[in-house]
Amino acid sequence: MPKLIIFEGPDGVGKSTQAKMLHDVMPGSLLIRQPSDSNVVGFLRSEVKSNPEHCMFERQLMHTVSHIVDAYSYFDGVTDVIMDRSPISAMVYGQVLGLSEYQRIIIERCNFAVYQDRLAEIPYDIRILFFIRPESYKSDKDDLYEQADRGKSITERYLDLAKHHSSFFALREHRYLFDLSLSKECNEKVIHESVLAAVEAEYDGIR
């Protein structure tokens, strides 16, 4: 069964770097960054991240469209997939950025209806890695999510998810991997070795 390894956590904690480093040591794996800038709706990434004309609900809907396109474009039941974010992010950010309950339900139904259907048809062996820091170590002044200045709330929500298996895990049955709480002193190589050790403990022959 192919592997689906999901990197989750707040913006700026190093997920993208670590996902790329893991991808580099897993021959034949596919790396998907969300919102994707390489699928057929890749233009939505700049809209989601930087265009101030959109309200948060519109932003989350565009993010969801990108997730859905990836699910049908790249999940083939053969290739190992590494995802830099997943529909879990849409749920976390939707909640802390002030979407109404009805809006969050719409986002959740769109994401999970597609992912549950797709992963039932094409099973993957799923692990989710949470990256949590007390604060981000990177900053992007043009990122509208970061401008919302709710990093603490987002981190707390991810911590809660990492410690308690909640309804966000409707993606598919899986085994929780680990909650990696990182200090600013950890460099990328040290973190990569920790990630690699954890993943290798779960799977045989990733390299």
Is the model's pLDDT at 22 over the cut of 90? yes
**pLDDT for 169:** 45
pTM score of the predicted model: 0.84
Which pLDDT does position 174 carry in this prediction? 52
> Is a pLDDT exceeding 90 seen at residue 116?
no
Phi first, then psi, for residue 77 (nearest 5°) are 80, 5
Candidate CATH numbers 3.40.50.300, 3.90.650.10, 3.40.50.720, 1.10.10.10; the one for domain 7-150+176-191: 3.40.50.300
Q: What is the pLDDT of residue 84?
A: 93
Name the residue with higher pLDDT: 133 or 104.
104
HSE (side-chain half, CA atoms, 13 Å) at 202: 20
Query: How far apart (Å, rounded) are the C-alpha atoms in residues 45 and 41?
Result: 8
CA angle 197, 207, 170 (to 5 degrees): 65
β-strand pairing of 178-181 with 125-132: parallel
Structure-derived torsion over alpha carbons of residues 78, 79, 85, 88, reported in degrees to the nearest 10: 10
Q: What is the pLDDT of residues 121-174, one digit of tens each?
A: 888 888 888 887 655 545 555 555 555 545 567 777 777 776 665 444 444 445
Q: Rounded distance, CA 142 to CA 55, Å?
A: 16
